[in-house]
Amino acid sequence: MVMDAKTAILARAREAIERSQEGRPVREIPRNYIREGQHAPGSDEVVAEMIEKLEDYSAQVVEARDDQAIEDAIAKFLSEAKASSVVVPTGLDDQFKKAAGRDKRKVREDSRENAIATLELDAIDAVVTRTRVGISISGTIILDGEPDQGRRAITLVPDTHVAILERSAIVPTVPQAVDILGEHPERPTTWIAGGSATSDIELVRVNGVHGPRHLRVIIAH
């Protein structure tokens, strides 16, 4: 049987790996990492740490204790971003959709069934979504594709992302967040830590390469 070059190379690699492992005992993978923080999820200390880390990433953060405050924060962030158009997932709360449409902003709804084309998304200024969980130790916000969070594309293409993060959903550590996400492992996840930024080998920083340049976070209730 004649193999093409790719198949032959992969076969040799597998053989080499198998030979290198012969006679070696399999080591147990250590799992003694920190699973819980000093403070409870959603506590004042955990929220304060989350805000500090987010602001380190140049995100703007506001706390909103009721729905009216959340609506006002959405409208304020979008006005400051000079957004004239906004995309929202169809599952977002109706009152938050209305808040996004203040000042005559054009609001478009997106879902997997009625997805907005990528080129059209590129012309939209901002996106408003809910989130699944936040990790205070790293300042990371995670979305898992629920209807109130939407498709990954809508949170990557617009220039500004307004994310609503429930206070009770902020946990201290990564393992705690992974446990929550593990309840629905089939869902696609997006991990966000501040606005998108990258640097080349000469340390020239470029914003917006991998997602929105501007992250605005509303810590709710």
Q: Assess whether pLDDT exceeds 80 at residue 20.
A: no
170 touches 219 (CB < 8 A): yes
Structural domains of the chain, ranges and CATH numbers in brackets: 37-220 (3.40.50.10420)
pLDDT of residue 25: 67
d(CA 214, CA 18): 48
Q: For the segment 172-211, what is each residue's pLDDT rounded down to a tens digit?
A: 999 999 999 999 999 999 999 877 667 667 667 666 667 7
| Least-confidence region, from 54-58, 114-118, 186-190, 204-208 | 204-208
CA nearest neighbour of 125 among 85, 162, 152 = 85
Task: Give SS3 for 19.
Answer: helix
Residue 19 binned pLDDT confidence (cut-offs 50, 70, 90): confident
